[in-house]
Amino acid sequence: MRSLIYLAAMARSGPHGRLGVVAVEMAYVTLTAGLYAGMQQRALALRSRFLGNLIVVVGVPGLAQFFHLHVMRRGVFLTGHTGRTLADDFRRMPRLVLDFVLRPYTLFSGFSARVVRAAESEGAV
């Protein structure tokens, strides 16, 4: 599926855009292949074969897509007129990775703070 998407993106862009698409894909795969392969290997070692297969087929690709969405919504690894240089994208990656890893905590802490405030305001009535 990724190949078809990249083929469509490359067909619509000029030579500069094609090079950008290829460079972004190569950089992304180079940086993440070991991580995702390690996650899949660990999942296959689980006692429950069904759970291991589910993690490999749904969990790891889902995590990869969430990460793609996270960085692309922040303007990283985009090509064409909306993109920046690949070097600039790589400079921004450490912060974006940290933000992605801490995102569940920040979402949960913000949610729990709203629940506490709502409970306090109900108690004051």
Q: Is the pTM of this model over 0.85?
A: no
Residues 34-72: tens digit of each pLDDT: 888 999 999 999 999 999 999 999 999 898 888 889 988
The predicted structure's pLDDT at residue 32: 81
DSSP letter string over 57-102? IIIHHHHHHHHHHHHHHTT-S--GGG---HHHHHHHHHHHHHHHHH
Q: Which two tokens mark 90?
A: 């790589």
Average pLDDT over residues 1-6: 64
